[in-house]
Amino acid sequence: MSLLCLGHASAGSALPFHALSPQKYLQQLWNTILLIALLLCTGVMVQAQRQSRQELSERDAELDLKQHIRRRLLALKTRRYHPGKPPRSRACEIDSCAVCLDQFHKSQWLRVLPCSHEFHRDCVDPWLLLQQTCPLCKRNILGENRPDTQLSPP
């Protein structure tokens, strides 16, 4: 008998909405909307949090790389250009900057890369911060330890 009653009771709560009073119906509808809104908010917040954390770590990695490149740039040789006194290197015949295509002028600061290619220091430093490779021969200035994925043919 009691089991039957319970069955009836649960069946009663699962009745379609039109069997409920309008107030109860509205209350239930409102609860549902609130629940959905809450779920959406939580989802959006979690997503945003995850995204910001990811962006942060990406920015960190980028800053690390930039600092690493800056240190590497500081370790690279610079020299003042003196026409008529070519350095004893295999790139000695180059007397213009491959970045701005301008000729080297007297007393300009040049950056000498490990491949002995030379460029205006002011031209090649921003380039190296972005590319880390020699504009002429594409050799990586960060050393040979890093795998050069972007240079290998597809």
DSSP state of 109: E
For residue 137, the minimal CB distance to Zn ion (Å) is: 3
Of the pair 20, 122, the CB lying nearest Zn ion is at 122
For residue 144, the minimal CB distance to Zn ion (Å) is: 14
For residue 114, the minimal CB distance to Zn ion (Å) is: 8
Q: Of 6-14, 22-30, 71-79, 134-142, which segment contacts Zn ion by CB under 5 A?
A: 134-142
User: What is the CA 29 to chain-centroid distance, rounded?
Assistant: 44
Rounded CA-CA distance 130/87 in Å is: 28
- As a whole number of Å, the CA-based R_g of the chain is 34
**x-marked contacts with Zn ion along 83-122 as a string, rule CB under 5 A:** --------------x-xx--------------x-x--x--
Cα distances from 46 to residues 54, 135, 143, in angstroms, run 12, 43, 40
Contact predicate 108/80, CB 8 Å:
yes
Residue 123 binding Zn ion, by CB under 5 A: yes
Rounded CA-CA distance 8/93 in Å is: 98
For residue 135, the minimal CB distance to Zn ion (Å) is: 7
Contact predicate 42/76, CB 8 Å:
no
Residue 136 binding Zn ion, by CB under 5 A: yes
* Residues of the shown chain interacting with Zn ion in the complex, contacts defined by CB under 5 A: 97, 99-100, 115, 117, 120, 123, 134, 136-137
